Amino acid sequence: MAVRLFAIFCLWLLVGLSGAQAATLTAALDRSTITLGESATFSLTFSGGSSENVPQLPQIPNLQMDYLGPSSQFSFINGQVSSVVTHNFTVTPKQAGDYTIPAFTAQVGNERVTTQPLTLKVLQPSAPSQAAVGSGSELAFLKLELPKKELYLGEMVAAQLNLYLRQGVQSVDGFQLTSFPGDGFKIGQRVQGNNRQTQINGVGYTVVPFLMTVSPVKTGNLTLGPVTANVVIGLASTRNRRDFLFDPFGMAHEQKQFVLATDAQPVQSLPLPTENVPANFNGAVGSYSMSMSAGPTNIAAGDPITVRVQISGRGALDAISLPEQPAWRDFKTVPPTSKLEPQDALGIQGTKTFEQLVIPQNSDIKELPGVSFSFFNPERKAYGTLTQPAMKLVVRPSASAAAPAVAATGAKKADSPPPTEDIVPNK
């Protein structure tokens, strides 16, 4: 009986497959227009069969396509077996523009099927207008702020990227920068500051600040931004009152993804003055003070002295180096080590300490020459030089000098006594 039933099943399956529909392949995009920072879903749907492997899509410049996985559906209607297999991909553009996803061809069984090409338009995100912000219609928006628009080459300032969230936003998740154009700038690490509250035309906003250092590395008219970012925010649920049984405390949220953008900020980068440049200037830009200590100061020639130079202030402290000190020509020097102690999260203000060993070469040296450090102050628009006075030293002759020889006396050295015998003969 079991054998008979199995034979009937095989016959039914054979009849069903023989009446199966012809293989087709369809390509689709869930959206044909997106904004840079968003992603679209590209799908390849096989009807009447499926490719044996995951479809390999062609490489498209500035378009990243990641495989999400397949979904399948099978049906048996009026003696016909139909199957639909869909392969889904996430499409993420890297820049704005118009893209063409070319026709795709696949082998399904004994048939070769081909799709139609598709087009995807990627728009450049733009900052909301002042009118839209003032009306309170924007749930979230970004704003890039600089302390000034005119910087000297190498000058470091703190830029602030502010995320504004309108009242009513319940949660924020997945804030991610998608682009930060800054050709001609060195941009430091992003640090989140403390949230604050503000009002715009009577509408309350929570401001989430992100701080970073910005420093021009070339001169001319530069542009910082526009900065773009993605953020997912949770809004209070708009369900009706019948949902009270499932959400008695009103904690349900509706999540929505936003693509945000700032306006571009023009910056004029000025070259450093070429007049009155100190001889030992090595590129330091900022406002600084200096202190120095050394010891020991009473040593022998050839012994090391540890010199500590501390430079404190505001500027690109990590890029500061101790300049050459030509007055130390009578000393042998070892390359200095340095340690940075920032006083803020950005490292734009703090102290950098240099330690260097200097070794006097002879006992004629009476002092350790002073140290000088030069920098350009962008606030005063002038160069400055810091100096520390010379320090008195006592340098003794080297302790490793040869000891004087002892003169021989004229007395004749006594002969050595004969060795004592251990065994004395018995007479």
The predicted-structure confidence for 111-130, as pLDDT tens digits, reads as follows 788 889 999 999 888 899 98
For residue 131, give both structure tokens.
Answer: 């009118």
For residue 140, give both structure tokens.
Answer: 């979230």
H-type helices in 35-138, by residue range?
Answer: 130-135
The pLDDT score that the predictor gives to residue 41 is 93
Which range is least confidently modeled, 8-22, 145-159, 202-216? Answer: 8-22
CATH architecture for the domain at 19-123: Sandwich (2.60)
Q: Which phi and psi (to 5°) does residue 260 adopt?
A: -110, 155
For residue 148, give both structure tokens.
Answer: 């000034």
- DSSP-assigned beta bridge partners for residue 312: 289, 351
CB neighbours (10 Å) of residue 199? 10
Q: What is d(CA 213, CA 313) in angstroms, rounded to the nearest whole number?
A: 16
| pLDDT of 18 strictly over 60 | no
Average model confidence (pLDDT) for the chain? Answer: 84
Going by C-alpha positions, the residue among 210, 201, 202, 145 that lies closest to residue 172 is 210
Fold of 130-270: Immunoglobulin-like (2.60.40)
Give residue 48's region: left, alpha or beta (phi > 0; psi -120 to 50): left
Question: In percent, how much of the chain has pLDDT > 90?
Answer: 56
Pick the CATH number of 286-396 from 3.40.30.120, 3.40.50.720, 3.40.309.10, 2.60.40.10: 2.60.40.10
| pLDDT of 187 strictly over 90 | yes
Question: In percent, how much of the chain has pLDDT > 70?
Answer: 81
| pLDDT of 406 strictly over 60 | no
Q: What is the DSSP-derived secondary structure letter of residue 403?
A: P
Which range is least confidently modeled, 89-93, 105-109, 179-183, 370-374? Answer: 105-109
For residue 121, give both structure tokens.
Answer: 């338009």
**Tens digit of pLDDT for each residue in 249-290?**
455 568 888 889 999 999 999 999 999 999 999 999 999 999
Distance in angstroms between the alpha carbons of the first and the last residue of the chain: 134
For residue 221, give both structure tokens.
Answer: 């008219």
Q: Are 231 and 257 in contact (CB under 8 A)?
A: yes
Q: What is d(CA 48, CA 92) in angstroms, rounded to the nearest whole number?
A: 30
Which range is least confidently modeled, 10-14, 106-110, 159-163, 282-286? Answer: 10-14
pLDDT band at 178 (very low <50, low <70, confident <90, very high): confident
pLDDT band at 413 (very low <50, low <70, confident <90, very high): very low
Which range is least confidently modeled, 19-23, 121-125, 168-172, 409-413? Answer: 409-413
For residue 100, give both structure tokens.
Answer: 């063409």
Q: What is d(CA 164, CA 225) in angstroms, rounded to the nearest whole number?
A: 18
| pLDDT of 167 strictly over 60 | yes
| pLDDT of 224 strictly over 80 | yes
For residue 321, give both structure tokens.
Answer: 């180096």
Q: What is d(CA 30, CA 26) in angstroms, rounded to the nearest whole number?
A: 13
| pLDDT of 421 strictly over 70 | no
Tell me if the bond preceding 226 is cis, omega within 30° of 0: yes
Going by C-alpha positions, the residue among 191, 137, 183, 125 that lies closest to residue 164 is 137
| pLDDT of 416 strictly over 60 | no
35 versus 424: which is more confidently predicted?
Answer: 35
* Predicted model pTM: 0.71
The pLDDT score that the predictor gives to residue 404 is 46
Tell me if the bond preceding 425 is cis, omega within 30° of 0: no
420 versus 264: which is more confidently predicted?
Answer: 264
379 versus 423: which is more confidently predicted?
Answer: 379
pLDDT band at 107 (very low <50, low <70, confident <90, very high): confident
Q: What is d(CA 144, CA 68) in angstroms, rounded to the nearest whole number?
A: 35
37 versus 86: which is more confidently predicted?
Answer: 86
pLDDT band at 411 (very low <50, low <70, confident <90, very high): very low
For residue 305, give both structure tokens.
Answer: 């002295």
pLDDT band at 21 (very low <50, low <70, confident <90, very high): low
Query: What number is the average pLDDT over the span 97-117?
Result: 86
CATH 2.60.40.10 domain extents, the chain: 286-396
Query: What number is the average pLDDT over the span 186-190?
Result: 92
Q: What is the DSSP string of 320-387?
A: --PPP-GGGTTEEE---EEEEEESSTTSSEEEEEEEEEEEE-STT--EE--EEEEEEETTTTEEEEEE
